[in-house]
Amino acid sequence: MEKVLFGYLAFAILASALLVVLSRHAVKAVLWGLVMFLHQAVLFLTLQAEFLAAIQILVYAGAVLVLFLFVIYLINLREELKWPKFLATYPLAFLVIFFFLVLAGAGISGFTPAPAKGILSTQALLSRGHARLLGEHLFREHILAFEAAGVLLLVAVLGAVVLVRRIREEER
Amino acid sequence: MEGILKAVLPGLILVGEALVLLVVALLHVAYTTYAERKVIGRMQQRLGPNRVGPRGLLQPIADVLKLLTKEDIVPLGAEKGLFYLAPFISLVAGATSLAVIPVWEKFVLANVNVGLLVVLALSSLSSYGVILSGWASNSRYAFLGGLRASAQVVSYEVAMALSLVGVILLAGSMNLAEIVKAQAASPFKVYAIPQIVGFFVFMVSAIAETNRVPFDLPEAETELVAGYFVEYSGIRFGLFYLAEYFGMVVMSAVAVTCFLGGWSGPFEVPGLPFFWFLLKLYALLFLYIWVRATLPRYRYDQLMGLGWKILIPLSLLNILITGLIKLWV
C-alpha cells in the first residue's frame, strides 16, 4: 500500500513538475506548480512529517505561488507567448541533465540512511513532536545559518525596492 | 462477519461524524445569511426577510432553490476548466478546516498535532478560488477583483499567522484541543485577556481574509460591480456565497478555540456539552454582521497600510512580549 502511494506520488510530482516547465501558458504553469506542491505535502505526510507538510502548503502553495500569480497578472504576457523558444542554447540543458543523472546514479548507489544525529532521534520526535524539536534545533544549533538566510532574504527585498525606485525616478 | 465489522466500524463512525458536521455547518451557514439580513435590517430600521415562512425563516431555503434553478452562464472567452474549478476550490478549502476544530472534548474529526497550521494552510489555499475566478472569467472587473484579493490575502495572512504565534507560545502546542485545555488551566481561563493584542489582530485579519466589509475590496460593488464573481451565475455564484459564509464560521470557530476557551465555560450545561462553543461562535458571528452594518469600506492603500504598518508590527510586538513573559514568569 505504501509503495503504491509512493509510486503514485513520485509519478505525479515528476509529471506535474514537467508540466510546469512545458506549459506554454504562465498561469497554467503556476497551477501545475500548485499541484506539485500539494503532492509534495502528501509525501511529507507519508513520512509522518506533518509539520513540514503544513508548512509546505502554507508557505509555498499559499504565499509564494499566490505572489507568482500576482506577478504574472501584472506583466503583459502576450509578447512572450509568441516567441518560438525562450533560449537558443537549450540543447546544452540536455548535457547538464545527463551529468545530473550520472550524479544521481552515483548518489543513489552509495546511499545509506543517516543515523540519528543530535537531539533528532525517533523517540524524541514521537514524544515531543516535530514543531518543538525543529524549533530547538533551528534556534540553538543552526541559529547562525538561520540568521544568515534571513539577512540574505532581507538583502533581496531591499534590492527589489531599490530597483523599483530607480525606474520611477527616471520616469520623472 | 464480526471481524469485518470491527475493521470497518471506525471508518464508518468517521464518515458519520463528518456527515453530521457537514450538515450542521451547512445549516449554520444558511441561517447565518438569514441572521445577517435580519440583523442588518434591524440596524438599518427595516424588517429584513419576512415573507417566506413564519418571520421569513424559510428564506435561505428559498434562496438556495432559486439559485439551483437559475441558468448557468459561462462567458465567452472564459478559461472553462478554471472557471468551473474556482468556486469549488474556494468552498472546499474553506470548509475542510472544520475537520480540525474541536467542538467539544470528544468531538474532533481529525485531532492533528499541527491543527492550527492546517487551518492557516487551508485558508491560504482558499484564496486560489478568488484569484483564479478573477482571471478565468475574462472580465476586467473580475480580474481587478482577483488582483486585489491576491495582494490582500497574502498581506493579511502574515498578520493572522503571527497573531496566533502568541497563543502557540502560551499553550506550548499547535493542537487545537490541547490549546483549549491549556486555556482552561491558565489563570484567566481564556487567552483573549493575556493575548488581547493577538485577539484584536486576529479578528481584524480574519475579516480581511474572508473578504468581508470593511475589507471587501475584491468585491467592492461601487467600483467593481461585484469583483471576482461578476461573471458567475446560478449555483456557481451560490458556491462563492457559501464559501464566504463558511469562511466566517471557520474563522469565528478558530477564534473561539484559540482565544475564547473553546468548549469550556463557567459551568457545565447538562446534555449540551457544546453549548458554550456555540454561544461564543454566535457572538463572534454577530460581531461580523455588526461590523458590516457599521463600518464603511477602506480605500486600498489604507488597507495595505493598516496591514503592513499596524497589524504586523503589533503582532510581532505581541510575540516578543509573550515570549518574555513566558521566559520570566
Least confident of A68-72, A78-82, B264-268, B314-318: A78-82
- What's the pLDDT band for A102 if we cut at 50, 70, 90? very high
Question: Is residue B259's pLDDT more than 80?
Answer: yes
Q: Which three cell numbers stand for residue B23?
A: 450538515
Q: Which value does ipTM take for this structure?
A: 0.75
pLDDT higher than 70, residue B205: yes
At residue A45 the predicted structure's pLDDT band, cuts being 50, 70 and 90, is confident
Query: pLDDT tens digit string along B100-117?
Result: 888 877 777 777 777 888
The alpha carbon dihedral of B219, B225, B231, B232 has a sign of positive
Quote the cell numbers at residue A104: 544521481
Residue B73: per-residue pLDDT:
79
pLDDT tier at A154 (50, 70, 90 boundaries)?
Answer: very high
Q: What is the pLDDT of residue B302?
A: 84
* Of A118 and A21, the one with more pLDDT: A21
Dihedral sign, CA of A86, A87, A90, A92?
Answer: negative
Angle between helices B2-43 and B234-259 (to 10 degrees): 100
SS3 content of chain A, % helix, strand, coil (to 5): 80, 0, 20
Q: What is the mean pLDDT of chain A?
A: 80
Identify which of A112-116, A154-158, B80-84 has the greatest average pLDDT: A154-158
The reply to whether residue B154 touches residue A66, judged by beta carbons under 8 angstroms, is yes
Distance CA B168, CA B257 (A): 12
What is the rounded CA–CA span in Å between residue A118 and residue A99? 34
Determine the average pLDDT of the residues in A79-83.
55
CA B80 → CA A136, B70, B114, B232, distances in Å? 48, 19, 36, 12
Cβ of B128 and A34 within 8 Å? Answer: yes
Confidence of residue A61 (pLDDT cuts 50, 70, 90): confident
The average pLDDT across B173-194 equals 80
On whether any CB of chain B is under 8 Å from the CB of A51, the answer is: yes
Average the pLDDT over B177-194 and give the result.
80
B212 pLDDT more than 80: no
Cα A1 to Cα A9, B5, B98, distances in angstroms:
12, 21, 28
Q: Answer whether A67 touches B (CB < 8 Å).
A: yes
How confident is the model over B214-226, as pLDDT tens digits? 877 767 666 667 7
Asked if B150 and A34 come within 8 Å (Cβ–Cβ), the reply is no
Question: Does the CB of A158 have a partner CB in chain B at under 8 Å?
Answer: no
Q: What is the pLDDT of residue A147?
A: 92
For the ranges A69-78, B70-79, B245-254, the maximum mean pLDDT occurs at B245-254
Compute the distance between CA of residue B148 and CA of residue B134 in angstroms, rounded to an integer.
10
Q: Of residues B284 and B78, which shows the higher confidence score?
A: B284
Look at A58 and B161 and tell me if their CB atoms are within 8 Å.
yes
**Residue B36 confidence (pLDDT) above 90:** no
Q: Which chain A residues have a beta carbon less than 8 Å from that of B132?
A: 31
Q: What global pTM score does this model have?
A: 0.81
- CA end-to-end distance (rounded Å), chain A: 64
Do B154 and A129 count as a contact with CB atoms less than 8 A apart?
no
- Nearest residue to B211 via CA among B152, B142, B299: B152
B190 CB neighbour count, 10 Å cutoff: 19
Instruction: For residue B144, give the nearest of B135, B136, B153, B156 by alpha carbon.
Output: B135
